[in-house]
Structures are given as C-alpha cells and as structure tokens.
Structure 1
Amino acid sequence: MTPVVFAFKLLIGVPVALVLALTAIWYVWESGNTVLYDSFAQKMFSGLENYGLLAIPLFMLTGEMMNEGGMTRRLINAARVFVGGFRGGLAYINLLANMFMAAIIGSATAQIAVMARAMTPEMEREGYDTGFAAATTAAGGLLAPVIPPSMLFVIFGVLAQVPIGDMFLAGILPGLLLAASFALVIFAIGLVRGFPAGSWYTGPEAMRALLACLPALTIPFAIIGGILFGIATPTESAAIASTIAFLVGWLVYRELKPAALWEMFKRTAFNASMIVFMIAAASVFGWVIIYEAIPQKLAALLTTITSDPFLFLLIVNLVLLCVGMLIDGIAAVILVTPILLPIATGNYDISPYQFGVVICLNLVLGLLTPPVGVGLYITSSMSGVTPGRILRSLWPFLLAVAVVLILLSRFPWLSTALI
C-alpha cells in the first residue's frame, strides 16, 4: 500500500518534501511498529547534521550578490573579448558567459533567469532568431549542475557520503566536454543559417573589459582554487566567495548597497530552507527504503537483465530522463540517490563520482523538457519567447547532452581523472 500512497501523492502535486515525510509516516503506521515514531524527528535532524550542507545557502547568497553587484554584465563583456569576433560571436559569448556564471552560481534555474534577461534581447538586436537566442541561453544553464560549484553535487555528496570537493573535481572535465559540445552545435547551426558577423573589441576596449572583469573573476578562482589546493573546504570556499562578492559589488563596482543585504538574506533563507527540508525528509524516506531492503530487491531484478555497468547506466539514464520530466532536479536527486547508488557501487562497481555526475546532468534535463520544464518557462517569461518556439530551437542542444551522457556512462575516467 505504501508505494501506492507515494505515487498518488506525487501525481496530485503534493510537494516532494511532504511526499517523502508523509510516506515514511504512513509506512510506520501500516507496519504497526509505532515505536519507530520515537525516532522520526531524530532521523530528520540527523539528515541535516552535515557541515557540507552550509555550502548551499552560501552559494545561493553569492549568486544574489553577483546579480545585485553588476558582475554579470562585466563577465559578458569579458567573454566578448575572447569570442566576440567570430561569425555568430554573440552566441559564443552567451555560452562562455554561461560558463563563467556556472563557476559562480551553481544553480541552473538562477543562472537561466539571469542570463535570459541579459542575453536574449541582446542577441535579438543583432539579428539572431529569437527562438535560437532563448534556446542558447536556456541550454547554457545546463552547465550549472556540472561545472563546480554545483548545488546538485553538494546534495549528492551529502546523500552519498563522499567528499564534496572531490565531486566538484569530478565535474570539471564533463563540464568542459558539455560546453565544447554546445559550441559545436552553435557552429553547425551557424553554417546552416548564416549567423551575423561578429566584431572584435579594439585593444583598449578589450583591456578595459578584462580589467573591469578581474575583480569578479576572483570569485570562481577562490572557489575552485581553494578546493584544488586544499586551502579551504567547499563550505569555507562558499563563505569566502560570498564575502568577495559582497566586497567587490560594494567597494569596487559600487552597485551593491548594504541596505539591500536584508532582502538578499531573506530570499536566500527562503530558497535554501526548501532544499534543506527536502534533504531532512529524504533522510527519513531513505530509512524506510533501507528497512524494506528496496535497493537489494531492485539490484536482484537489474542483475538478471544485465551485468554490464555501461548497459546498467544506459537503463538508469532512460528511467531518470522520465523522472526528470516530472520532478524537479533537486527533488529527483534526493529521491533516487538512496535507491540507485547502492546498486551502482555494490553490484556494478561504478564509481560514486561517475554515477553522481551522470544522474545530476540527466535529471537537470527535466528543467528544459515538458511537461514540467521549469527552466523552459523561466526562459520564456524572461525573454518573451513562447516555450514551443524555444523548444523547436533547443533540440540540437538536448541531443548534444544525450551524447555527452553516453560518453560519461561509457568512459569512467571522464569523471574520475582529476580526483
């Protein structure tokens, strides 16, 4: 009966955190072992007793301060220095700026909202098709869950009990591979459509753009450099990044006012609390899953189908593609990790880092695919382009993501080489 209750609550649109918590309560009641109620609150709280979870609100706060402090515009100008002169240069600028933003914000929805507002009108003014402009911006948001620091990697690292810093390192090569595949898509579409010619900055203009961007670039260097050289943990790097974002926005660019901090703190607290509550509820739900030996039963079923890790990952990719279309990426990671990770590592000897990269990239695809497609609707509302028109221009990028997922599933070293 418990699986029926779980599926019914998901279908009627109950928030995922409540679905997880209420399903666990229903299971305890149905089992008759009511003494488990005494451990319920303790299990929820123990799910939050992880230092790494502090990185989530801190990375969110960094993104808020960047937006308020005028750093996004300067990163876009810096991207123009490197790729602006190519034919279709503004599309490459969009992609490169998204890479910069992904190395700072770590949230696909936040990145899509910021970049759709900044880049889509600019591309339209220079003669690009509005659907393609919005689609390029939306696809660039898919870099956020892979290029560190990634909020999904933080959550997966907590659930999988692997070092978050190593998860960040695991995402570097896949992130670069994904960006390269998007660049190839832009190049191919440009050949067919004949994109507008780009224009290079003059020497003095390029120098001004790069100098203006340097303070903002200290943020990704502080995050990734601190982790790579063992100077700071991911959580400490997030705190350092938010401090740098505040000081740069306030003292260097003079666009971030201290009076705006209270509103940013409130928005960050509200958004982070939803994620933290989901993790607490998932802790209780995972307790039920382990009690019922669901991973072991599912593993027994899957191993009768295939013993090949690559085929297992392809099956998982197909299943998660459907899951991601219906459930938010963060909620889906919280939901599927306790079930599938023990099978991947225990029965197929798949690295948790490879598995984490694959499922995080796969599940975030749901942001841009109907029927839920939150990222699709965010792009539409920010750019004024209909979701259908965006989707018609988006499919080559989605195909590129599918190819990258197959490569990541087939070659473990793409995820583990830097760890």
Structure 2
Amino acid sequence: MTGVVFLVLLFAGVPISLVLCLSAVWYIQASGNTVLYSSFAQQLFAGVESYGLLAIPLFMLTGELMNEGGLTQRLIQAARVFVGGFRGGLAYINLLANMFMAAIIGSAASQIAVMSRAMVPAMEEEGYRREFAAATTAAGGLLSPIIPPSMLFVIYGVLAQIPIGDMFMAGILPGLLLSASFFVIVALVGLREQFPKGEWMSPGVALAAIRDCLPAALIPLAIVGGILLGIATPTESAAVASLVAFVIGRFVYGELKITRLGALFVRTAANSSLVIFLIASANVFGWVIIYEAIPQKLAAQITTLTSDPFVFLLIVNLALFLIGMVIDGIAAVILVVPILLPIAQTHYAIDPFQFGVIVCLNLVLGLLTPPVGAGLYIASAMSGAKPMAIFRALYPFLAAVAAVLLLLSWAPSISTVLIR
C-alpha cells in the first residue's frame, strides 16, 4: 500500500522530497508502529549528518561566482583557441567549454542553463540550426555527472560509504571517453550537414585568450589537483575553489560586484537546500526500504534471471533509464542506490566505483528524455527551440551515451584503473 501512495503522490506532481516523507509517514501509520514518529526528526537530521555533503553548496557557490565574475566567458574563448578553426568549430568549442565547466559546476541542469545562454545564440549567428546548437549544449551537460567534481558523485559516495575523492577519480576516464564520443558525433554530423568552417585565431589573439583564461583554469586545478594529490578532501577543495573564484572574479577580472553577492548567496542557499532536504527525506524513506527487506526480495528475483554481472548491469541500465525518465537524477540516485548497490556487490561482486559511474551517467539521461526531460525544457527556454526538436537533434548524442554505458558495463577497469 505504501508503494501505491508513493506512486500516486509522485504522478500527482508532488515534490519528490515531500513524496518520500509522506510515504514514510503513511507507512508508519499503517504499520501501527507509531513510536517511530518520536525519532522522525532525528532520522531527517541523520540523513545529512555527513561532512561530504558540505561540498554540494560549495560547488554551487563556485559556479555562481564564476558566472558573475566573467570566468565562464574566458574559458569559452580559450576553447576557441584549440578547436575553433575546424569545420563546425563552434560546436567543438561548445563541447570543450562544457568539459571545462563540468570540472567546476558539477550539476548538469545548471551547466545546461549557463552554457545555453552563452553558446546557442553564437552558434545560431554562424549558421547552425538552433535545435542542433541547443542539443549540442544539452549533450555537453551530460559530462557534469562524471567529470569531477560531480554533485551526483558526492551523493553517491555518501550513500555507498566510499571515499568521494576516489569516486571523482573513477569518473575521469569515462568522462574523457564520453567527451571523445561527442566530438566524433559532431564530426560526423558536420560532414553530413556541411557545418560552417571556423577560423583560427591569430597568434597574438590566441595567446591573449590563453593568458586571460589562466586564472580561471586555477579553479579546476584547485578542485581536481587537490584531491588527486591528497592535499585536500573534496569538501576542502570546493571551499578553496569558491575562494579562488571570488578572488579572480573580483580582483583579477574585476567583473564580480560586491552588490550582487547577496542575491548570489541566496540563489546558492535556495538551490543547495533543495538537494540537502531531498537527501534528508530519502533517509527517512530508507526505513521503509530496510524494514520491508526490498533489496533482499529484489535480489532473489534478479538472481533467478542471470548470474552474469554484465547481464545484470544491462538489466540495471534499462531499469535506470526508465526511472530517470520520470524521476529527477538526484532523487533517483537516492532511491535506487540503497536498493541496487547491495545486490551488485553481494551477488555479482561489482565494484562500487564502476557501479556509481554507470548509475550517475544513466540517471542524468532523464534530464534529456521525455516525459519529464527538465534539461530539454531548460535548453528550450534558453534557446527558444522547441523541446521535441531539440530531442530529435539529440539522437546521435544519446546513442553515443548508450555505447559508452555498454562499454563501462563490460569493462570495469575503465572506471577503476586510476584508483586500484
């Protein structure tokens, strides 16, 4: 009955955090074990009582500071230096800039919004179809869940109780692989549609663009380098990155205005509080999952179908894709990891880092697939292109993601080689 209540509330459009809390309340009331109400608040707090989760608002703050401080535009100009002269150069610039931003923002939805405003008008002005420009930008947002730092990786690391720094390292090679596949897609589509040929910058302009970008490049170095070298934890790296973004935007580029900091902090607090409350709600809902022994029951069903880890991951990929179509990626990670990860580890000996990369990449696809497709609507709102037109232009990119997911499922070493 609790499952029915959950589905009714979900499809009624109730926010997922409230769906989780109300479903747990219904279960407690229906089971008659009302003594659990006395520890309801403690369970909510316990869900967010993790040092690693502090990285989420700090990464969000870093992204906001970069946008306000002019760092984003300088990263885009630096990308133009390396790929701007190829046919379809602006599409390559879009993807390369998305790689830079993925190493800073960590949120696919935020990245799609930021990059759509910056890149779609520029691509359309140079002769690209608006829907393709929006699709390329939206596809670039898929890099954020696996190129560190990733908000989903932080949440997954907390849920799986594994080092978040190692989880970040597990995403490096898959992120580069996915980026390479997107570059191939742009090249193939460019040959078919005869994209406009780009122009290489003159040496002087190129050097100036790289020089202007160097301060902004300190941020991904501060985040990833601090973690890889063992100097700082992900949370400490996020704090350093936000400080560096403030100093560069305010004192180096001079574009960050003190008067705009208040609104910036409010946006960061509002956005991060939504995520944090969702995690707290999921911890309460975890009562139901554990008490009903859902992982054990599901494991009994799946293990009768296959004993092959690869086949199991194929089943999981299909299930996650369907889940991601109707539930937000963060909420889906919080819901499915406590159920599926014990099965993957106990019955199939699947590495938790490999599983985390697959889960996070797969679930974020829901941002770009109907019927929910929040990323589609963000790209549509920022570009003016129709959501379904963007979705049709996304087909090649989604096929590339599916191929990468198959490869990650078949070859665990791609995700684990840097941490073993």
What is the count of residue pairs matched by the alignment? 419
Structure 1 residue 44, shift from structure 2 partner: 1.2
| Separation in structure 1 between the aligned mates of residue 273 and residue 10 of structure 2, nearest angstrom | 21
What is the CA deviation profile of residues 104-162 of structure 1, one whole-angstrom value per residue up to 9, with x for unaligned ones?
00011111011111111111111112211111111001001110000010111111111
Indicate the residue corresponding to 1:401 in structure 2: 401
| Separation in structure 2 between the aligned mates of residue 20 and residue 409 of structure 1, nearest angstrom | 30
Structure 1 residue 342, shift from structure 2 partner: 0.8
| Separation in structure 2 between the aligned mates of residue 2 and residue 374 of structure 1, nearest angstrom | 27
Indicate the residue corresponding to 2:38 in structure 1: 38
Indicate the residue corresponding to 2:337 in structure 1: 337
Indicate the residue corresponding to 1:113 in structure 2: 113
SS in 1 for 2:127: coil
Indicate the residue corresponding to 1:253 in structure 2: 253
Give runs of aligned pairs for residues 308-323 of structure 1, distance below 5 A.
Answer: 308-323=308-323
Worse overlay, 304-313 or 385-394: 385-394
Indicate the residue corresponding to 1:85 in structure 2: 85
| Separation in structure 1 between the aligned mates of residue 17 and residue 349 of structure 2, nearest angstrom | 30
Indicate the residue corresponding to 1:288 in structure 2: 288
Unmatched 5+ stretches in structure 1: none
Indicate the residue corresponding to 2:271 in structure 1: 271
2:140 maps to 1:140:
yes
Letter in 2 for 1:252: V
Letter in 2 for 1:216: A
What is the CA deviation profile of residues 64-88 of structure 1, one whole-angstrom value per residue up to 9, with x for unaligned ones?
0000001111001000111111111
Indicate the residue corresponding to 2:210 in structure 1: 210
| Separation in structure 1 between the aligned mates of residue 106 and residue 208 of structure 2, nearest angstrom | 27
Give runs of aligned pairs for residues 121-200 of structure 1, distance below 5 A.
Answer: 121-200=121-200
SS in 2 for 1:13: coil
| Separation in structure 1 between the aligned mates of residue 9 and residue 387 of structure 2, nearest angstrom | 27
| Separation in structure 1 between the aligned mates of residue 382 and residue 294 of structure 2, nearest angstrom | 42
What is the CA deviation profile of residues 324-364 of structure 1, one whole-angstrom value per residue up to 9, with x for unaligned ones?
11111111111111111111111111111111110111110
SS in 2 for 1:231: coil
| Separation in structure 2 between the aligned mates of residue 135 and residue 41 of structure 1, nearest angstrom | 43
Structure 1 residue 191, shift from structure 2 partner: 1.2
Indicate the residue corresponding to 1:226 in structure 2: 226
Structure 1 residue 175, shift from structure 2 partner: 0.3
Unmatched 5+ stretches in structure 2: none
| Separation in structure 2 between the aligned mates of residue 365 and residue 252 of structure 1, nearest angstrom | 37
C-alpha RMSD of matched pairs (Å): 0.8
SS in 2 for 1:306: coil
Letter in 2 for 1:16: I
| Separation in structure 2 between the aligned mates of residue 36 and residue 361 of structure 1, nearest angstrom | 36
2:375 maps to 1:375:
yes
| Separation in structure 1 between the aligned mates of residue 180 and residue 360 of structure 2, nearest angstrom | 19
Letter in 2 for 1:376: L
| Separation in structure 1 between the aligned mates of residue 219 and residue 151 of structure 2, nearest angstrom | 16
2:97 maps to 1:97:
yes
Structure 1 residue 32, shift from structure 2 partner: 1.2
| % identity of equivalent residues | 70
Structure 1 residue 287, shift from structure 2 partner: 2.2
What is the CA deviation profile of residues 17-48 of structure 1, one whole-angstrom value per residue up to 9, with x for unaligned ones?
11111111111111111222222211111111
Letter in 1 for 2:337: T
What is the CA deviation profile of residues 205-245 of structure 1, one whole-angstrom value per residue up to 9, with x for unaligned ones?
01000000000000000000000000000000000000000
Indicate the residue corresponding to 1:75 in structure 2: 75
| Separation in structure 1 between the aligned mates of residue 293 and residue 401 of structure 2, nearest angstrom | 33
TM-score by length of 1: 0.99
Indicate the residue corresponding to 1:65 in structure 2: 65
| Separation in structure 2 between the aligned mates of residue 187 and residue 153 of structure 1, nearest angstrom | 30
What is the CA deviation profile of residues 168-222 of structure 1, one whole-angstrom value per residue up to 9, with x for unaligned ones?
0010001000000000100111111111111111110010000000000000000
SS in 2 for 1:305: coil
What is the CA deviation profile of residues 358-403 of structure 1, one whole-angstrom value per residue up to 9, with x for unaligned ones?
0111110011111111110111111111112211211000010000
Indicate the residue corresponding to 1:304 in structure 2: 304
| Separation in structure 2 between the aligned mates of residue 229 and residue 303 of structure 1, nearest angstrom | 40
Worse overlay, 40-49 or 224-233: 40-49
Letter in 1 for 2:129: D
| Separation in structure 2 between the aligned mates of residue 347 and residue 228 of structure 1, nearest angstrom | 31
TM-score by length of 2: 0.99
Moved >2 Å (runs of 4+): none
| Separation in structure 2 between the aligned mates of residue 40 and residue 349 of structure 1, nearest angstrom | 34
| Separation in structure 1 between the aligned mates of residue 41 and residue 134 of structure 2, nearest angstrom | 45
SS in 2 for 1:403: helix
| Separation in structure 1 between the aligned mates of residue 342 and residue 21 of structure 2, nearest angstrom | 21
Indicate the residue corresponding to 1:364 in structure 2: 364
Letter in 1 for 2:334: I
